[in-house]
Amino acid sequence: MQALHFGGDYNPEQWPEQVWADDVELMRTAHVNLVTVGVFSWSRLQPGPDEFDFGWLDRVLDLLDDAGIGACLATPTASPPPWFTRLHPDAMPVTRDGIRLTHGSRDTYCVNAPAYRAASTRIADALGARYAGHRALRMWHVHNEYGTPCYCDHCATGFQVWLAGRYGDTDALNDAWSTDFWSQRYREWDEVLPPRVTQYLSNPAQVLDYRRFVSDSMLRHYIDQRETLRAASRAPITTNFVLGGWVPVDHARWAREVDVVAIDNYPSSVDDHLTERAFAADLARGWARAAGHPDGRWLLMEHAPGAVHSGGVVRALAAGQAREAALTYLDRGAVGVMYFQWRASRGGAEQWHPAIVPHEGAAAPIFQEISLLGAELAGRSPTAVSAQVALIFDELTMWAWQAPHVPSRDIDYEKMAYRWHGVLGGAGSAVDVVPVTASLSGYRLVVAPALYLMSQAVHTALRGYVLEGGTLVLTFASGLVDDCARVTPGALDDLIGARIVRHTPLLSDETVALAGTDAVGRRWFDQLEVTDARVTLQTADGAAAVIEHRFGAGLVRYLATDLDERQLLDTLADVRKGSAE
Amino acid sequence: MQALHFGGDYNPEQWPEQVWADDVELMRTAHVNLVTVGVFSWSRLQPGPDEFDFGWLDRVLDLLDDAGIGACLATPTASPPPWFTRLHPDAMPVTRDGIRLTHGSRDTYCVNAPAYRAASTRIADALGARYAGHRALRMWHVHNEYGTPCYCDHCATGFQVWLAGRYGDTDALNDAWSTDFWSQRYREWDEVLPPRVTQYLSNPAQVLDYRRFVSDSMLRHYIDQRETLRAASRAPITTNFVLGGWVPVDHARWAREVDVVAIDNYPSSVDDHLTERAFAADLARGWARAAGHPDGRWLLMEHAPGAVHSGGVVRALAAGQAREAALTYLDRGAVGVMYFQWRASRGGAEQWHPAIVPHEGAAAPIFQEISLLGAELAGRSPTAVSAQVALIFDELTMWAWQAPHVPSRDIDYEKMAYRWHGVLGGAGSAVDVVPVTASLSGYRLVVAPALYLMSQAVHTALRGYVLEGGTLVLTFASGLVDDCARVTPGALDDLIGARIVRHTPLLSDETVALAGTDAVGRRWFDQLEVTDARVTLQTADGAAAVIEHRFGAGLVRYLATDLDERQLLDTLADVRKGSAE
Amino acid sequence: MQALHFGGDYNPEQWPEQVWADDVELMRTAHVNLVTVGVFSWSRLQPGPDEFDFGWLDRVLDLLDDAGIGACLATPTASPPPWFTRLHPDAMPVTRDGIRLTHGSRDTYCVNAPAYRAASTRIADALGARYAGHRALRMWHVHNEYGTPCYCDHCATGFQVWLAGRYGDTDALNDAWSTDFWSQRYREWDEVLPPRVTQYLSNPAQVLDYRRFVSDSMLRHYIDQRETLRAASRAPITTNFVLGGWVPVDHARWAREVDVVAIDNYPSSVDDHLTERAFAADLARGWARAAGHPDGRWLLMEHAPGAVHSGGVVRALAAGQAREAALTYLDRGAVGVMYFQWRASRGGAEQWHPAIVPHEGAAAPIFQEISLLGAELAGRSPTAVSAQVALIFDELTMWAWQAPHVPSRDIDYEKMAYRWHGVLGGAGSAVDVVPVTASLSGYRLVVAPALYLMSQAVHTALRGYVLEGGTLVLTFASGLVDDCARVTPGALDDLIGARIVRHTPLLSDETVALAGTDAVGRRWFDQLEVTDARVTLQTADGAAAVIEHRFGAGLVRYLATDLDERQLLDTLADVRKGSAE
């Protein structure tokens, strides 16, 4: 039987050495079997440019190993020490406004700065060399929560090279970016810049490509370290994904480069935290499955014990909710549940962050609750989850919806995904939340709400899925632009069996009355000229609101407006039961 | 019969050449007779510093001419190409915070940068030389929506020279700017800077003069091009004014420098869009009339077809509203109604901007609606509007109300002007919205609400108008400062026949009860000591709320508080009917 | 009998000399006996780097003296002239974002810039030399409202030196700042920077020390001038404190360096302005008393006549309120009430600031009201206030509550202090609002709400006070961190006679039901394990909500939650009456 990982981030360097033995004893009490060590240890491991100090970490790992506790050993590159930033000010990130940040927090680096790339590989190499053979080593944890964007000159140069690789010549770039709008035509690569602050609206294709470039730049930084570690060690290597619309990481692509998909999850709501966790879990599994990880297994690398911690604010959850949270992840395929963090920090910027051992010590209720949970989970192994239904959640589309100029400001792509997740998974059914690049052939039903951006490959893949018998639900506000954010009128017409004559975003207080129900449509209405489809729901005025189109061996249902949850359940009743097949 | 202009911005460089013939055919269908070409074509017309490419534009203009469609030919200076900004980074605008913007949008230029001025004149000269004799040419459209402020060192130097010209010596500047407050006395011109970011409140006179300077700098940039074009061509020359409190352009002054006053108009509200359009139209006519353009004729250079487009958000108008919008402008003296834009852009920052030919193509309802309108207007000629009533709307006063320190934060000058416009024009009466510099002698009634800033010339002009028999309505919050934003206590006393003892801005929930009505006063109350006037409305406490003063052959009515719309109508009933004369 | 100071800021340099005689005459009418002169006169007193002009100030002081009016003579260093900033751009303040401010307002200086320090001392020296013997001189007013923070390189260097002085070596700094969190360990002093803009949350200890450093830097600038003036003159020397959470001045420490504590007071609310004034007055007296000034006497250096002036907005107070305001200060020990300003400025950034002589002149109601007040106060001498109750208001704690990561966002330290002030002073009882460094032995009752930050010295002082018989009321959210913002679990347990097992910040709509009352607890709840205390109020669930602990000869009451005002009054009924002693 494979045991679950159970534990969390452990930062022994914050405490005198005599506390370490207590920690290990308490870990055993709590049935902890894995701790993440070293995430923020760079300034301790490499106190100066040419000075290393591994003695303390040796002792920590030995102590852990003696107690049978494994280590998820981090490379500390997310927090360069002050000496580094003083030597290499050009490696500090620069904002869109041209303001260079400095140290004093964490995450102060530019992944395109040569000095930072070299320093990162060097410390990773030193850790690999020293600890590849340590008995406590279970896993490598590269960096932490990749997410610092930068707009510096290193990035500008890197972006030009990346674009040259993507487009070949500037003519192709000009076409892809539609630069004839507003006289932005580029002649030479070095005229192209990151989307720095400018006078008015930015070019959406430039912004989108820049996010792709930043993701790729970070991925290269990750791979540099992974290869360095791989050369020394056979332990699995990963990094912890942080979720959120601001993160410039294409997680679906990254999932193929990690040995296990690992996410951190920090819900924002006390009331709906389990819903948020369920979505994140199904999404992590979806990324893992799409990237070919067996059974879609994934690891919850961080969450806050017994509390919600969001936006710098901590709110306690009721007793018992920590267990509910853990089970929510485990029932959805997590191979372990880990916390940030083991012992609360006395000082520093997150001193009030929840911890398994809080400031009040091991007598505090949370330690008891986590310990009981540890005991309960000790006998459990990972759950294999099999889903027949997939919800497509596409980060490129999420980014595209963030453009300064979109057809409607009332479409919140992430909230819409949450709502659909609730509808599809409502009765406890398993739902994979998958990227648009996933193989869909195994699913009976695939739902893709508001899939604004669709590349040609996505068009082909969705058609292929339906042609072979799949049932696909699409909605308004889908397929509007291609992967360069260029409008693609009529791109769905053949697939849905209707011509979309006019897109009408609705004002927030406008609704569309539906025939035979008191439910209404909101947010958007597509005026359809039905060609080959069948109308399954009409507006009170007799316009098509939902249509169904047999396409090859499969079926496409298209929703021309945003239905409320009850109406969605009605509308999908048959396809959810598989009756449409 | 003079035909109306009907058409819009046409950007053929965004489309393959084979689309152009379709465009021209559709234009004929829609009765389009004028299109604006070249606004954002700089990077196509001048692909490099010493390289020009006019071939494509030749073909466009020939195609248009063959179809009998005229061209409003733009100089493309609002959007310098990337090669320009790379060669001349010092020509990019700098914010108040000292942040230099870069290309990637539009409007990235500093009108005081020598390189930009030279490049602008050069491309204007090239266009003039090539197209002065083209048969399609109907009009020159210099630049686009002047509005980029800048605080760079070129501007600082320019400001110093401008101030030296205005004030002669620093003593006069110190007096005008009241620099003895907060120890700001200047000894040398080069100590004077643009109102860049500072520790606390800025000097209001400095801020006001800086807006004047920016307006004059932009005007010089316009005139540079106008003179260049004039030397080659006899076609009328204009630029399109963009409206809004942020725009640093003194439109009343500029109106004297264009051959036809042209405005762009983008209302913000779906419900009140016609009201907003009516105000803008009456204002454009007011500028035109005050600048001596015959009959106050003016051109609507841009508006959004069938939609409201404001703040990056598009909201569709109901069918028929596009026609209503056009008639609103035409009934108020527009010599044409033009749209932005002809064909929707596939990509770029405004890809969702409304267009006559939307992404869905000419089958879409909006194209049909505009085409019918085109047919209807083909038989119409410009309307001459004659107004007996004028509403003063003064951009200097609007700017002055934006100071960081004003007597009340609850006076919204623009909204107040809108409200008065509604009151005066309510029953369909023609109202000229005129600048404070307009000749008033032709009007029976002139209303000037909240005219905070009044120069000596304005004081003289208003008195002159009344002395000769005019009826003038003034309100609270008028004449409080001079043209250097210095307080001028008692400046209106002789004119209104009362002494204003105390200004009291009212809190938003405070009201003043009025005698004999359930209407109330709001926002402000002036305590008056009546000398020569007659009280026509009292507060419930017996204080004067509205007074009337015979002054020379005319009459001045003064409102000490902000009355509601109904009360305003009552109060003005006699003067609106001319009974007061 | 000692006369009260009565008068205000007088800026004669803003007016032609012929106005001065009128001013002095009106001052006599208003019974003004002291005016503050020269606050913003630097550019007049020193028109160029090596040029001085004292003639006009000689004449002003002579005029005043002839009329028996004293001068509070300011050094003008809060507003360096433009020539200074042009010569020394490095002396302009820099924001956290690295943006350097420029002149054009006031307060544009960096107290750590050598050129600014030298120029400040030079002008102070010149003033001292010239006016030490002038008969009008009553007091020196150094600078104005110290409050400009800066993050420039001068400050960085100064901060490093200051830290070396405070901590000795970087090991001690690393321990104090908990730099092992997020890998911030410093090796060399020059790696340590001001808390400039960084990628994520700042280190709270760094932020706190930076505020201390800025306060000390400003204090050094004050002392430089004070020593210069003292060498020439025996007149009392002070500076005017400006209140507000943004001000980086440790006023309790500064109070020991001024001859009389002087504050400016600008309430924000029209309805509660007297409450705000009462708090400020009791606070000023508390600072004065704690610093050893006899009877806790203090001076109101500025307030707005007959109006509230806050955030650039002026709102008039009702007739009679100016008198109420003055009496509120005087009843609380003020040795004078002074206004900003004497005569309203015609121009400049505060031209609408209230004044004793407003734009409308001496006939205006406010001049009459102030004149009557002056007459009334002419026969009055300072009130000696004796309080048996003290409310602790600690600026370090206020700063600590502003950290980006605190246990609760719903604790508003300043509002909580206001509320307690209302409770304690409700029935007109005298309450000293004192710093945490005050000697407490004279008070019967001391209340310290939400005293988040407690140094070891504070712990000792509070225990000493209780041991010797005092009654101390503490609340939740107290003693959570030490003076380096490090968490100190259990730090209050011995004092309150209970162990705090868990801190639970409550959501804004959560409440705690209390036994035997319909009042509720809010904001926070501490779960207590009572050891030696007695429970005096329980929750409906039987948990301790208020406990009482005999400690030495005294008594400590601890509130585990935030009670409403009525419940606070009930809870404190006995201790307010002294029955607990």
Render pLDDT for B162-182 as a digit per residue (tens, 0 to 9). 999 999 999 999 999 999 999
Average pLDDT of the residues of chain C: 96
pLDDT above 80: residue C93: yes
Q: Is any Cβ of chain B less than 8 angstroms from the Cβ of A531?
A: no
In the stretch 181-220 of chain A, residues with CB closer than 8 A to chain B read 181-188, 190-193, 195-206
Pick the closest to residue C530 from C558, C489, C571 (CA basis): C558
Judged by a CB distance cut-off of 8 A, whether residue C49 touches chain B is no
With a CB cutoff of 8 Å and minimum separation 6, the contacts of A122 are: none
Average the pLDDT over each of A564-568, B244-248, C6-10, C100-104 and give the range with the smallest value: A564-568
Min Cα–Cα distance to chain C from B405, Å: 5
Would the pLDDT of C276 be above 90? yes
Check CB contact of B506 with chain C, cutoff 8 Å: no
The residue from B17, B51, B145, B565 that is catalytic is: B145
Residues of C in contact with B485 (CB under 8 A): 347, 351
3-state secondary structure C292-331: CCHHHCEEEEECCCCEEEECCEEEECCCCHHHHHHHHHHC
- What is the four-CA torsion angle of A331, A337, A340, A342, rounded to 10 degrees? 140
pLDDT digits (tens, 9 = 90+) for B111-166: 999 999 999 999 999 999 999 999 999 999 999 999 999 999 999 999 999 999 99
CB contacts of B359 in chain A (<8 Å) are 487, 489
The mean pLDDT value for C354-373 works out to 95
CA-CA distances (angstroms) from residue A37 to A89, B213, B368?
Answer: 28, 61, 67
Q: Which residue of A has its CA nearest to B314?
A: A407
Which pLDDT score, from 0 to 100, does residue B577 have?
A: 66
Model confidence pLDDT, tens digit, residues B442-491 = 999 999 999 999 999 999 999 999 999 999 999 999 999 999 999 999 99
Residue C354, Cα to own-chain centre: how many angstroms?
22
Chain C nearest C-alpha distance from B445 (Å): 30
Nearest C-alpha of chain A: how many angstroms from C461?
Answer: 24
pLDDT at B578: 54
Query: What is the percent of chain B where pLDDT is above 70?
Result: 99
Contact between residue B199 and residue B103 where contact means Cβ atoms under 8 Å apart: no
pLDDT, tens digit (0-9, with 9 covering 90-100), for A456-477: 999 999 999 999 999 999 999 9
pLDDT, tens digit (0-9, with 9 covering 90-100), for A480-529:
999 999 999 999 999 999 999 988 898 878 999 999 888 899 999 999 99
Q: Which member of C11, C82, C93 has the closest CB to residue B191?
A: C82
Single out the catalytic residue among C25, C51, C145, C324.
C145
Interval A376-417: pLDDT, tens? 999 999 999 999 999 999 999 999 999 989 999 899 999 999
Residue B314: the pLDDT is 87
Q: Which B positions 402-461 lie with beta carbon below 8 A of chain C? A: 404-409
Where do we find the tokens 């501490």?
C526
At C200-229, the pLDDT tens digits run: 999 999 999 999 999 999 999 999 999 999
Q: What mean pLDDT value characterizes chain B?
A: 96
Q: Which two tokens stand for residue B240?
A: 């399109």
Q: Which residue of B97, B174, B180 to mutate against C (max C Cβ within 10 Å)?
A: B180
Q: Nearest residue on chain C to B400, judged by CA atoms?
A: C349
pLDDT at A187 over 90: yes
DSSP3 helix / strand / coil % (chain C, rounded to 5): 35, 20, 45
Give the Cα separation of C158 and C156 in Å (integer). Answer: 5
Question: Which pLDDT value is given to residue C580?
Answer: 37
pLDDT at site B253: 98
**Which chain A residues are Cβ-neighbours of C202 within 8 angstroms?**
104-105, 349
pTM for the complete prediction? 0.96
Complex ipTM tops 0.85: yes
Res. B82: pLDDT tops 60 = yes
A315–C507 C-beta distance less than 8 A: yes
The distance of A325 to chain C (nearest Cα, Å) reads 20
pLDDT digits (tens, 9 = 90+) for C394-411: 999 999 999 989 999 899
pLDDT band at C25 (very low <50, low <70, confident <90, very high): very high
Contact B10, B342 (CB under 8 A): yes
Backbone angles phi, psi at B323, to 5 degrees: -65, -45
pLDDT at B159: 98
Chain A contacts in chain B segment 145-164 (CB below 8 A): 148
* B519-567 residue pLDDT tens: 999 999 999 999 999 999 999 999 999 999 999 999 999 999 999 888 8
Assign C251 a pLDDT band (cuts: 50, 70, 90): very high
pLDDT grade for B580, boundaries at 50, 70 and 90: very low
- Give residue A320's pLDDT band: very low, low, confident or very high (50, 70, 90): very high
Mean pLDDT of C355-361: 96
Q: Terminal CA-to-CA distance of chain C, rounded, Å?
A: 38
pLDDT of residue A577: 66
Residues in chain A: 581
Residue among B349, B337, B346 at smallest CA distance from B304:
B337
Whether residue B40 and residue A181 make contact (CB cut-off 8 A), yes or no, is yes
B145 is catalytic: yes
Per-residue pLDDT at C560 exceeds 50? yes
Q: What are phi and psi of C499, to 5 degrees?
A: -100, 130
pLDDT in tens, A572-581: 887 766 533 3
Q: Are A109 and A116 a contacting pair, CB within 8 Å?
A: yes
How large a percentage of chain A has pLDDT more than 90? 90
C198:A101 CB<8 A:
yes
pLDDT grade for C310, boundaries at 50, 70 and 90: confident
The pLDDT value given to residue B407: 92
Residue from B181, B189, B504, B531 to probe the interface with C (highest C Cβ count within 10 Å): B181
pLDDT in the model for residue B1: 59
Least CB–CB distance from A347: residue in C178, C183, C409: C178
Reported confidence tier of residue A241, pLDDT bands at 50, 70, 90: very high
Of A42, A48, A346, Cβ closest to residue C486:
A346
Q: Which chains touch C (3 or more CB pairs under 8 A)?
A: A, B
> Residues with Cβ < 8 Å from B575, sequence gap 6 or more?
B445, B471, B473, B555, B557
Whether residues A361 and C489 touch (CB distance < 8 A) is answered with yes
* Residue C312: predicted pLDDT: 76
Residue B79 has pLDDT above 50, yes or no: yes
Instruction: For residue C110, give the chain B residue with the closest CA.
Output: B199
- Confidence bin at B576 (pLDDT 50/70/90): low
Instruction: Write out residues 95-154 of C within 8 Å (CB-CB) of B.
Output: 97, 99-108, 148
**CB-side exposure of B114: number of CA atoms within 13 Å?**
2
pLDDT tens-place string over residues C148-171: 999 999 999 999 999 999 999 999
Q: DSSP letter at A369?
A: H
- Segment B545-549 long-range contacts (CB within 8 Å, at least 24 positions apart): B545/B512, B545/B514, B545/B521, B546/B571, B547/B496, B547/B497, B547/B498, B548/B580, B549/B495, B549/B496, B549/B497, B549/B498
Check residue A507 and give its pLDDT.
Answer: 81
Chains that touch A (3 or more CB pairs under 8 A): B, C
Instruction: Say which of A48, A353, A360 has its CB closest to residue C501.
Output: A360
